[in-house]
A and B are shown apart, each in its own frame.
Chain A
């Protein structure tokens, strides 16, 4: 086991795979986030967006905050 860790990646050959893997991870997260915000319900988004303005109101009941 220790041998594997010790002598892993001693040369630069194939190192390009690492940034590629991470880029793929990043890009998929980005796509998922994009997909989600496109699909998320309008009422949920509005509820989230108005949260800072509702300090004195009760939460969890969707108040109608007219967007100016």
Chain B
């Protein structure tokens, strides 16, 4: 019996338009952050300092731009692949508005400095809970739609959507465990090495399962659609799917090579990262070969042009990623701008261009009209491509050469560039070029906005598109078939198996790190932070210092020479959250404690160029005017005790007394340097923390630190 029904185009349209809006905002914030690196005066007020808007940029482009684009494409393609309307319009709308409110909350709280201090997971716990709820709503809606489908088999795009949903749910929940201090502040459940491992298991798989698998699903739907021919090899897509989700989940530790993470975990991450080349390139070739015999159309159709560059960038980034996971290459590239270039090949190349292609394909169809101007779309394509090139190439150069400068020794065995800042100033030109590339790319996006507005004005939204399909007949008996044919009909089993696939990787990496005692050798001289230092550390996290400074001296001579003793796993056992960082725009800070007098930090935070002429670091005048909020001291110490930090039982009650004593000492120390400082200001806590970092190990008796 043929059934008539309607596709819900409005929800796809809503997600698509909000994608464009948030994309523009996120890119603009990125552009501003890029300019702050060359013009530090742009750090006008505390809410827009680099350390606060860099997380805003990353969260906006990942969760607002790419996230909404995935939802737009998924809502459009799922209904058509399953021959049914979405399970519930109400859930679709809750999903839409809930997600936008979360983004709005992020846009407000991140500049206010409310952050958990873990990359791409910065949002504080109330927002984390909201994300979980909205994600579940999306899941119910998606699975509900699958259950009421009129097509027996699930197309490969849907598997990618399912794997995305289940894995992101798992990653988000595991990584976000935290103990709240108040509504806007919490401490990560994990500490030090374990926190680092969980975070990069999450961080890497956010790339894998938020930026890659959903977009592969979109690729498998929209590329054949735009090319009007089936995917090159459906068989390959099956292999692509299973091997990709199985291998990806393991690769996280490649973000932690040469760190204090146990060696076996590093090797495991590296091995699986290298293996990733195979499924990734299988997917890329599957995409590109879909166009075989149709390359003449690529010349004319801007949609296909965008898709070709997107898939090519996917191939480039996924070849580069495994290479960067090889320890000897990682030793050069890690902490440099090379990584920034790498992620932008993925971000603005793969994700960005796939979204643009999708926009140009979907908007005319949703509005029953033709694209306003192919010429403008082509112009956008070329501006975008030039933008990627101008963005990435200078940063590749910068990253490579800065790293070599860090490692360069004179024949007598001294560092050639003793002052870290000298290596930064050498690559400042690249930061300018990058900002230029970003500007070109953004201009292209603005042209797209104009084109879309014009297209929309010329047409009328087909909010409910008529469709018909026969009802799905109940199978009376199990027909003979292969296991995959079997699983293609059973979405719930598919979901469970995907979860099993991704959970194994996580469990094998994490459980031993948590349980094996020898993985984190204890260092008896490492003590918990004092209340003042704890406050200082929270300010360090709030200001996003980790976006430019690492706290991880790797065991290379070039690093021990520059910074001091390399970092040990046992030094971080009280670090909730860990602050190892992933990028050195400024020098590593793990051995900064007791390196300079208090007065140096005082002047440096007030005006970095006074101590380091030419410094690109923002000034932090608000630390000198804002009074430290000591009303939370007790709760913070109590939260730490809950997390297992060994403070004395009666310590929370005396915490503020202890804090006042330590503040007085720092004020007295500053006075010796001729500075009249106020003891109740945030800067005092900041100095206390900076002077403490990485110093405990120096007090260690020789035998304990083995």
**Partner-B contacts on A (CB < 8 A):** 8-12, 15, 18-19, 21-22, 25-26, 29-30, 32-34, 36-40, 44-53, 55-56, 58-60, 65, 67-68
B157 within 8 Å of A by Cβ? yes
Quick one: which of B210-232 are within 8 Å of A by CB? 220-222, 224-225, 228-231
In the complex, identify which listed stretch (B57-65, B119-127, B505-513, B648-656) lies at the interface while the others stay far away.
B505-513
B239, B483, B484, B518 interface centre (most CB from chain A within 10 Å): B484
Q: How far is the CA of A30 from the CA of B504 in the complex (A)?
A: 15
Shortest CB distance A60–B (Å) = 6
| A-B contact list, 8 entries, CB within 8 Å | A9-B511, A18-B512, A26-B504, A33-B243, A47-B153, A48-B155, A48-B488, A52-B230
Q: Which residue of A lies closest to B231 (CB)?
A: A49
A29/B501 contact (C-beta < 8 A), A36-B483, A60-B470 known: yes
Contacts of B293 in A (CB 8 A): 68
Give A51's nearest chain B residue, CB to CB: B155
B284 sits at the interface (CB 8 A): no
One of B81, B234, B482 near A49 (C-beta < 8 A): B234
Further 7 A-B residue pairs, CB within 8 A, beyond A21-B508, A22-B504, A36-B483 = A18-B511, A26-B504, A32-B483, A33-B238, A34-B239, A37-B236, A59-B150
Residues of B within 8 A of A (CB): 2, 77, 80-81, 83, 150-153, 155-157, 220-222, 224-225, 228-231, 234-236, 238-239, 242-243, 246-247, 264, 268, 293-294, 467-470, 472, 482-485, 488, 501, 504-505, 508, 511-512, 515-519
What's the Cα separation between A8 and B514 when bound, in Å? 11
The answer to whether B246 touches A29 (Cβ under 8 A) is yes
Q: Is the pair A53, B484 in contact by a Cβ cutoff of 8 Å? A: no
Give the shortest distance, in Å, between A10 (CB) and chain B (any CB).
Answer: 5
Q: Is the CB of B238 within 8 A of A36?
A: yes
Whether B469 pairs with A58 at a CB distance below 8 angstroms is yes
The 5 closest A-B pairs by CB, nearest first: A37-B235, A49-B230, A49-B234, A9-B515, A51-B155
Contacts of A29 in B (CB 8 A): 242, 246, 501
Interchain CB contact (< 8 A) of B470 among A19, A37, A44, A58: A58
Interface of A is mostly: helix
**Nearest A residue to B79 by beta-carbon distance?**
A55
B83 is contacted by which of A15, A19, A40, A59 (Cβ under 8 Å)?
A: A59
Given A50-B230, A53-B230, A67-B230, A60 contacting B152 (CB threshold 8 A):
yes
**Bound state CA distance, A46 and B225, in angstroms?**
15
Shortest distance in angstroms between A32's beta carbon and chain B's nearest beta carbon?
Answer: 7
Q: Look across to chain A and name the residue whose beta carbon is closest to the beta carbon of B279.
A: A30
- Cα distance A50–B81 in the bound complex, in angstroms: 10
Which B residues lie within 8 Å of A15 (CB)?
264, 512, 516
| Residues of B with C-beta under 8 A to A55 | 80, 467
- Please report the C-alpha to C-alpha distance between residue A22 and residue B511 in the assembled complex, in whole angstroms: 13
Q: Do A45 and B234 touch (CB < 8 A)? A: yes
Shortest C-beta distance, A58 to chain B (Å), equals 6
Contact partner, B519, options A8, A12, A38, A52, Cβ 8 Å: A12
Chain B residues in 8 Å Cβ range of A18: 508, 511-512
Whether B515 lies near A8 (C-beta < 8 A) is yes
A52 in contact with B224 given A33-B242, A36-B238 (CB within 8 Å): yes
Residue contact A12 to B247, C-beta cutoff 8 Å: no
Main secondary structure of the interface of B (DSSP, over half): helix
Chain B residues, Cβ within 8 Å of A21: 508
CA distance A45 to B237 in the complex (A): 11
Docked-complex contact B470 and A59, CB < 8 angstroms: yes
Indicate if the CB atoms of B151 and A33 lie closer than 8 Å.
no
> Are A48 and B234 within 8 A (Cβ)?
yes
* B467 partner, pick from A11, A30, A47, A56, beta carbons under 8 A: A56
Is A19 in contact with B518, judged by CB distance below 8 angstroms? no
Contact A48 B156 (CB under 8 A): yes
Given contacts A9-B515, A51-B81, contact A36 B243 (CB under 8 A): no
B239: chain A residues at CB < 8 Å are 30, 33-34, 37
How far is it, in angstroms, between the C-alpha of A52 and the C-alpha of B225 when the chains are bound? Answer: 6
Q: How far is the CA of A37 from the CA of B508 in the complex (A)?
A: 29
A26 in complex: contacting residue of B2, B150, B247, B511, CB < 8 Å: B247
Point out the residues of chain B lying under 8 angstroms from A33, CB to CB: 238-239, 242-243, 484
Residue of B at shortest CB range from A25?
A: B504
Known: A30-B246, A45-B234. A22 touches B508 (CB 8 A): yes
Give Cα A39 to B235, complex, Å. Answer: 10
Q: What chain B residues lie within 8 Å of A40 (beta carbons)?
A: 235, 482, 484-485
* A30 proximity list for chain B (CB < 8 A): 239, 242-243, 246
Whether B230 and A39, one on each chain, are in contact in the complex, defined by CB atoms closer than 8 angstroms, is no
Docked complex Cα distance between A60 and B246 (Å):
31
The answer to whether B235 and A10 have CB atoms under 8 Å apart is no
Contacts of B501 in A (CB 8 A): 29
CB neighbours (8 Å) of B153 from chain A are 47-48, 51
| A34 contact set on B, CB distance < 8 A | 239
Report B-chain residues with C-beta under 8 Å of the C-beta of A46.
230, 234
Q: How far is the CA of A60 from the CA of B151 in the complex (A)?
A: 7
- A11–B512 alpha-carbon span in the complex (Å): 9
Choice from B157, B238, B512 contacting A52 with Cβ under 8 Å: B157
**A51 proximity list for chain B (CB < 8 A):** 81, 151, 153, 155
Question: What B residues does A32 contact at CB under 8 A?
Answer: 483
Interchain CA distance A68-B78 in the complex, whole Å:
26
Q: How far is the CA of A32 from the CA of B80 in the complex (A)?
A: 30
Residue of B nearest to A57 (CB): B469
- Smallest Cβ-Cβ distance to A35: which chain B residue: B482
User: Are A9 and B516 interface neighbours, CB within 8 A?
Assistant: yes
When the two chains form their complex, are residues B470 and A10 in contact, meaning their CB atoms are under 8 A apart?
no
Q: Is the CB of B515 within 8 A of A10?
A: yes
Q: Which of A12, A47, A48, A51 gathers the greatest number of chain B CB atoms within 10 Å?
A: A51
A58-B519 CB under 8 A given contacts A39-B482, A40-B235: no
> What's the Cα separation between A45 and B488 when bound, in Å?
12
Task: Give the shortest distance, in Å, between B230 (CB) and chain A (any CB).
Answer: 4
**When chains A and B are docked, how far (Å) is the Cα of A53 from the Cα of B501?**
30
Residues of B within 8 Å of A45, CB to CB, are 234-235
Q: Which residues of B contact A50 (CB under 8 A)?
A: 230
Shortest C-beta distance, B293 to chain A (Å), equals 6
Q: Looking across the interface, which residue of chain A has its beta carbon closest to that of B157?
A: A52
Which residues of A lie under 8 Å from residue B264 when comparing CB positions? 12, 15
B225 touches A11 (CB 8 A): no
Q: Separation in Å of the A68 CB from the closest CB of chain B? A: 6
**CB neighbours of A60 from chain B (8 A):** 151-152, 470, 472
Query: Least Cβ distance of B554 to chain A in Å?
Result: 22
